[in-house]
Structure 1
Amino acid sequence: MNKSVLEKAITIAEACADAAHRTVAPYFRTPLQADAKMDDSPVTIADRAAEKAMRTIIENAFPEHAILGEEGGRSGSESEWQWVLDPIDGTRAFLTGRLSFGSLISLFHQGKPVLGIIDQPVTNERWIGVKDEPTRFISDVLPGHIGTRTSLDLSYAELSCTSPDIMSPEELLRFNNLKKVVRRTSWGGDCYAYGLLALGQIDIIAESSMKPWDWAALVPIIEGAGGRMTNWQGEPLDLNNNDGTVLAVGNPQLMPEIIKHLSAR
């Protein structure tokens, strides 16, 4: 991997996060018309404008790189470098005035995520993950220190998921197997929950129906904080072959036991 490309990409990714931040924040808690996409998920003018701003920055800096965005689809020619963008992860939360949404920017090299950013434009929090480097957390006001929790007992674990509605009936049964053995389960986290896992506030996140733009940026952040991300079978997340399940764990030693519960029917 060309280190100079990655170093430049970090600067460009932060510029994208800044652009999305400036675009999205003024729309928060204002009357917005949301359109329904083919999968019935909502999209707003803020989503489209933020992605357009990020695409422009990337295309100017790296015209040879491919881009995959939730709103604009795939653009650019085949490349060993591919950006994956979600201008507002958690649009439902954004529309209802809740703070669990964020902008997600990620870069893949030869199909593997090497860079990821979560930016929360209202709380002014940002997580930056780079492959083989410690994750960084930037906040002007809110406290937080990078480092996942190392509890070895599931009975003390905090489990999170955005909503039970994202799971099929079979997946929900499997999720409930895990839910029975943890301390607590919280709902409604969107990408913000993954940032909290990187800060050691949450131990496990198990979700399904996840598209690449939902999880791409999160992998370097979680792994750079000491955790691990896979699908529910413990396999690495892949752009081309993923069943939509995502498992993020603060303590990787708990992964086999968690997967056992998620595999039971």
Structure 2
Amino acid sequence: MQKKKIISNYLSLANYVADTIAIEIKKNYKHLNIKLSKKCSSYQVVTDLDFKIEKIVRKLISFKFPDHNIVGEELGSIDKNSEYTWIIDPIDGTKAFISSIPVFTFLLSLKYKNDYLLGLVDQPILNERFWNYNNKAYLNNKVIKVRKFTNISSSIVAITDPVMFKNYNLLNKKLFNKFSFIRWGTDALGYMRCAEGIIDAVIERDIKIWDIAAIIPIIKASGGIITTWDNKPPGTNDTVIACNDKKMHKILVNTLQNYL
């Protein structure tokens, strides 16, 4: 009971933070004066709003829990030598945000030691907020679950960008063309579609911890599986498989582990 109460307090803060950030995102959505710059990766970009949002989130967390660690995509780490670490991705899917395509999300996670306690994924334009609590996953207060796997040929899989894959053409022959179809450009929202039982899997690489920290507990709470391509805990390398079923997971691992 005590643990549930503690996590409930953290979830309350996460929702308050997400409400605050949703206002900023809605205010800046479809604005053409957003300043844009490229990161070191050829397909990653950042805006001045990414930095502004992360600063707001850090301030809100530090006010409530000044002793907690914070890790963010844009502003690095604050190490307070705490067992608790908040992980922030201010705008996951910045290209989608700039293009006014509402598949971008705000991501916030809380990690206790090596356990991802809490994840929150918010898409304020669609008014969709996902989180986990007490071993269940939610979309706007409704419990969500992954769907049952039937077969590989009827599977729908989400991938953000083919540029992520070093051996895309080979993987397409060995695995990708076996799916019903691939939906490109979904970013973190693709994982949530898996969690709510709309698609079967997400496959990605070149992933950083802030890209998946919020996703990990939500996928698990929805009954899904999330690992690296070689079936290790997510975050131990830059690859990710999230899917609905052990059978689907085995098919994906058997192929993808050969392409690390």
TM-score (norm 1): 0.90
The alignment yields a C-alpha RMSD, in angstroms, of: 2.0
Alignment coverage as a number of residue pairs:
256
| Aligned counterparts of 1:61 and 1:244: Cα–Cα separation in 2 | 32
Q: Which residue of 1 aligns with 2:21?
A: 20
**Does 2:246 correspond to 1:252?**
yes
1:66 and 1:75 in contact (8 A); partners too: yes
| Aligned counterparts of 1:147 and 1:103: Cα–Cα separation in 2 | 21
**Structure 2, unpaired ranges of 5+:** none
| Aligned counterparts of 2:232 and 2:120: Cα–Cα separation in 1 | 22
Letter in 2 for 1:253: K
Matches within 5 A, 1:8-47: 8-31=9-32, 32-40=34-42, 41-47=44-50
Matches within 5 A, 1:233-252: 233-238=230-235, 242-252=236-246
Q: Name which of structure 1's ranges 246-255 and 32-41 shifts more when overlaid on structure 2.
A: 32-41
Matches within 5 A, 1:174-189: 174=171, 176-189=173-186
Matches within 5 A, 1:74-223: 74-130=77-133, 132-138=134-140, 146-169=144-167, 173-174=170-171, 176-223=173-220
Query: What secondary structure, in the 3-state scheme, does the structure 2 residue paired with 1:93 have?
Result: helix
Over the matched positions of the two proteins, sequence identity in percent amounts to: 30
**Does 2:66 correspond to 1:72?**
no
Letter in 2 for 1:102: T
Letter in 2 for 1:129: N
Distance 1:69 1:184, change over 3 A: same
| Aligned counterparts of 2:85 and 2:52: Cα–Cα separation in 1 | 20
1:23 and 1:49 in contact (8 A); partners too: no
1:59 and 1:65 in contact (8 A); partners too: yes
| Aligned counterparts of 2:144 and 2:155: Cα–Cα separation in 1 | 18
| Aligned counterparts of 2:229 and 2:185: Cα–Cα separation in 1 | 20
| Aligned counterparts of 1:182 and 1:172: Cα–Cα separation in 2 | 15
**Structure 1, unpaired ranges of 5+:** none
Deviation at 1:176, TM superposition (A): 4.8
| Aligned counterparts of 1:52 and 1:136: Cα–Cα separation in 2 | 27
| Aligned counterparts of 2:198 and 2:6: Cα–Cα separation in 1 | 33
Query: What secondary structure, in the 3-state scheme, does the structure 2 residue paired with 1:180 have?
Result: helix
Deviation at 1:173, TM superposition (A): 3.0
1:152 and 1:251 in contact (8 A); partners too: no
2:149 and 2:247 in contact (8 A); partners too: no
TM-score (norm 2): 0.92
1:177 and 1:264 in contact (8 A); partners too: no
1:159 and 1:205 in contact (8 A); partners too: yes
